Amino acid sequence: MKVTSDPVVRACPACARSNRVPLAHLADTGRCGACQAALPPVAEPIEVDEPMFDAVVASARVPVLVDFWAAWCGPCQQAAPHVERTAQETAGRAIVLKVDSDANPNLSARFHVQGIPNFVVISQGKVVRQQAGLVDSRTMTSWLTE
């Protein structure tokens, strides 16, 4: 899921209609505006740019896992399924963001990213963990539930 504006537009799993979800409610279960079916929390990594990153982190009521990556990076490609699994396993309890470090060098510099993949956990606007290198989904999930 790539996001570039506020709010996030998500398709209803029941009727496929588009729903606008405010950033503060990405981890919440909502209701489809058309059919009233449950609209589950975001369960996939969200690709963000710097302005959207700042907006999501500022409004998040749950921990945020950030994956700094690049398309050319082999270890980043190996980490991707683990990042996706973490997003699925922590849906409703955390938000997972993906930041392309090549496309967002200022954001990478803000977090002193010198090697990728690089993972940052932010809770209540503060960095609580940062680690470079490949890790599995079990490790990422433990960071978010500590």
Query: How far apart (Å, rounded) are the C-alpha atoms in residues 41 and 21?
Result: 10
Q: Does pTM surpass 0.85?
A: yes
Q: Determine the pLDDT at residue 2.
A: 45
Amino acid at 102: D
Which domains can be identified in the chain, with CATH numbers?
A: 8-39 (no CATH), 46-145 (3.40.30.10)
Tens digits of residue pLDDT in 13-45 = 999 999 999 999 999 999 999 999 999 999 999
Catalytic residue among 12, 15, 35, 76: 76
Query: How far apart (Å, rounded) are the C-alpha atoms in residues 24 and 35?
Result: 22
35 belongs to the catalytic site: no
Query: How far apart (Å, rounded) are the C-alpha atoms in residues 128 and 143?
Result: 9
Q: Determine the pLDDT at residue 49.
A: 94
76 belongs to the catalytic site: yes
Query: How far apart (Å, rounded) are the C-alpha atoms in residues 121 and 130?
Result: 6
